[in-house]
C-alpha cells in the first residue's frame, strides 16, 4: 500500500514529484494557477526536498490553525484528570490548543518526522524477567537533541532564502503535534492516540517549524484504523477507557517516566519488567508491516540499553546512573525514579534469584524514600516470610518517611 503523494519518500523520482505537484495544485483554480500560487507551491516543494535531503523521513505542510475538535479533546482530557501529574499540560492548554496563541505571526506549520523503528522484536526484552525492558525510542541517543539539531539546520536554510520569521519546536513545547501531523498529511491519530503512518507505522518522532510565510497546505490524512482494536486490547494496564481516549494515569509510559511519586500498588504487578516506557500499543499496530528500520545512526540501540540486567541497574548510585545513561532520554527522569522502576520490575520476578533478593534488601537502606518504598514492595514480594518479618520488625518503626512506613504495613503480620 502506498502513502498519499504529499508525503514524499526520500528517493521519489522527478516524475512522481511532478505528478504530486499537479495533483495538489489542481485544487487551486484547476490548471489556471496564478503566479502567487505557483510561487507558494515551488517554495513548499523546495523546503520538502531539502528536508528529505537533510535526513527527515516525512514532511508535510499545514495552515497554522487547529480545528475546534482538537481543543475540545484536550479540554476533555484535562477535565477528566487523565493527565495525572502532568500539570504543565493544563498550564499551557490555551497555547497548546491554538498555534496562533503560541505565536500570532504563524501562517504555516512544517511538520517533520524522523523514523525510529528498530530492526528487532520490540517485545523481546519483556521475555526475560531478569532484564529490564526499555522503550525502543529511548535505547539510542536522546531524540530531542537529534531532532532539534536537524530542525534548526533546516530552519537556517529556509531563513537564508525567503523573507519572514520562523520558530522551531519539539515535543517539549506546548504544541499539539499529533493533530498537526494529521492535518499536514503525515498520518492519523490511531485509537491508541499516537500517530500512525501508512509508511512508518507507529514509529515517528515529530518536530515542527512555524513560518510567518503562508504556503499551500498538504491534504490531511484520513483515519485508517477501521474496526481494528489491537492497540486497545494489548495495553497491560487497560489505560484506554475508549478508542481514541487515553487515561495517562494508568499508562506504563506515564507511570515509569512522568509520574514522580510511588506507583499505585494495584498497577505495579501489571508493569512486569518495563523500566522505562512501554511499546505494546505501538508494536501491535498492523500498519507497522510497512515500516522499515531506521537508518539514523544516533537512534541505534546502545548495548547496555536493549535488555540490561536488573541486578546491575539496582546498584547504580547517582554518578553511575548519569554515566551509564548520558545522552539518552532515560537520564531525564533521574536516578531515583529510574531505580523505583527497576525495583518494581524486581518485585515482579516470577522466580526470583538469591542475588535479586540481596539487591532488594540492600536498597532498603537507600537515601531516597522513593527508592526505599519500592524496595520494600520488591523485597516483600520476593523474600521469604521469615526475612520479611525480620526486616519489617527492624525497620518499620524507625522509618522516618510516612510513605515508606505505609509500604511496610503491607507486609506486617495480621494482629491476632
Tell me, letter by letter, the H, E, C secondary structure of 155-190.
HHHHHCCCCCCEEEECCCCCCCHHHHHHHCCCCEEC
Reading the block at residue 271, the C-alpha cell is 508493569
CA–CA distance, 112 with 211 (Å, rounded to integer): 13
Q: Give yes or no: 393 in active site.
A: no
Residue 59 in contact with residue 52, Cβ under 8 Å? yes
The per-residue b/e assignment along 149-174, b for 16 or more CB within 10 angstroms, e otherwise, is ebbeebbebbeeebeeebbbbbeebb
pLDDT given for residue 269 in this prediction: 98
pLDDT given for residue 388 in this prediction: 92
Q: Enumerate residues 6+ apart whose C-beta is below 8 A from 411.
A: 376, 380, 388, 392
| CA distance to 70, 136, 332, 343, per residue, from 139 (Å) | 31, 6, 13, 20
Model confidence, pTM: 0.89
**Strand pairing class (166-169; 188-189):** unpaired
CA–CA distance, 133 with 152 (Å, rounded to integer): 32
- 339 phi and psi angles, rounded to 5 deg: -65, -30
Domain residue extents for the chain:
14-119+142-211, 230-409
Strands (E), 212-282: 274-276
Q: If you count them, how many residues does the chain have?
A: 416
The mean pLDDT values, 10 residues at a time, for the chain of 416 residues are: 34 41 47 76 97 98 95 95 95 93 97 96 90 96 96 98 95 93 98 97 98 97 98 98 98 98 98 98 97 94 91 97 96 98 97 95 97 98 94 91 94 58
Rg (CA), the chain: 24
CA–CA distance, 225 with 160 (Å, rounded to integer): 41
- 292 phi and psi angles, rounded to 5 deg: -130, 155
Residue 136 in contact with residue 122, Cβ under 8 Å? yes
- Catalytic residue chosen out of the listed positions 85, 145, 171, 387: 171
Amino acid at each position: 500500500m502506498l502513502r498519499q503523494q504529499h508525503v514524499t519518500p526520500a528517493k521519489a523520482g522527478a516524475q512522481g514529484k511532478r505528478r504530486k505537484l499537479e495533483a495538489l495544485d489542481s485544487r487551486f483554480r484547476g490548471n489556471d494557477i496564478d503566479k502567487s500560487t505557483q510561487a507558494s507551491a515551488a517554495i513548499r516543494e523546495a523546503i520538502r526536498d531539502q528536508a528529505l535531503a537533510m535526513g527527515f523521513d516525512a514532511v508535510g505542510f499545514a495552515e497554522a490553525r487547529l480545528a475546534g475538535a482538537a481543543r475540545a479533546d484536550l479540554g476533555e482530557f484535562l477535565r477528566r484528570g487523565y493527565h495525572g501529574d502532568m500539570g504543565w499540560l493544563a498550564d499551557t492548554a490555551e497555547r497548546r490548543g491554538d498555534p496562533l496563541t503560541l505565536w500570532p505571526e504563524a501562517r504555516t506549520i512544517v511538520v517533520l518526522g524522523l523514523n525510529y523503528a528498530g530492526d528487532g522484536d520490540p517485545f523481546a526484552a519483556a521475555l526475560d524477567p531478569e532484564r529490564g525492558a526499555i522503550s525502543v525510542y529511548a535505547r539510542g541517543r536522546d531524540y530531542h537533541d537529534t531532532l532539534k539539531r536537524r530542525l534548526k539546520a533546516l530552519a537556517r536554510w529556509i531563513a537564508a532564502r525567503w523573507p519572514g520569521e520562523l520558530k522551531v519546536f519539539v515535543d517539549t513545547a506546548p504544541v499539539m503535534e499529533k493533530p498537526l501531523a494529521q492535518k499536514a498529511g503525515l498520518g492519523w491519530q490511531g485509537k491508541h492516540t499516537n500517530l500512525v503512518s501508512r509508511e512508518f507505522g507507529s514509529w515517528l518522532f515529530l518536530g515542527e517549524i512555524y513560518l510567518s510565510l503562508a504556503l499551500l497546505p498538504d491534504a490531511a490524512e484520513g483515519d485508517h484504523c477501521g474496526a481494528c482494536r489491537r492497540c486497545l486490547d494489548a495495553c497491560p494496564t487497560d489505560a484506554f477507557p475508549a478508542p481514541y481516549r487515553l487515561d495517562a494515569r494508568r499508562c506504563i509510559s506515564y507511570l515509569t517516566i512522568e509520574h514522580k511519586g510511588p506507583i499505585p500498588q494495584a498497577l505495579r504487578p501489571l508493569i512486569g519488567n518495563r523500566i522505562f516506557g512501554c511499546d505494546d500499543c505501538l508494536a501491535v499496530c498492523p500498519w507497522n508491516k510497512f515500516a522499515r528500520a531506521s537508518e539514523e545512526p544516533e537512534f541505534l540501540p546502545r548495548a547496555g540499553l536493549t535488555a540490561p540486567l536488573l541486578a546491575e541497574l539496582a546498584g547504580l548510585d547517582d554518578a553511575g546512573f548519569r554515566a551509564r545513561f548520558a545522552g539518552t532520554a532515560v537520564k531525564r527522569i533521574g536516578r531515583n525514579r529510574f531505580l523505583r522502576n527497576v525495583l518494581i520490575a524486581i518485585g515482579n520476578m516470577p522466580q526470583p534469584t538469591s542475588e535479586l533478593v540481596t539487591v532488594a534488601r540492600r536498597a532498603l537502606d537507600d537515601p531516597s524514600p522513593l527508592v526505599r518504598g519500592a524496595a520494600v514492595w520488591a523485597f516483600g514480594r520476593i523474600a521469604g516470610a521469615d526475612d520479611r518479618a525480620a526486616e519489617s520488625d527492624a525497620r518499620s518503626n524507625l522509618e522516618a518517611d510516612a510513605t515508606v512506613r505505609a509500604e511496610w504495613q503491607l507486609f506486617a503480620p495480621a494482629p491476632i
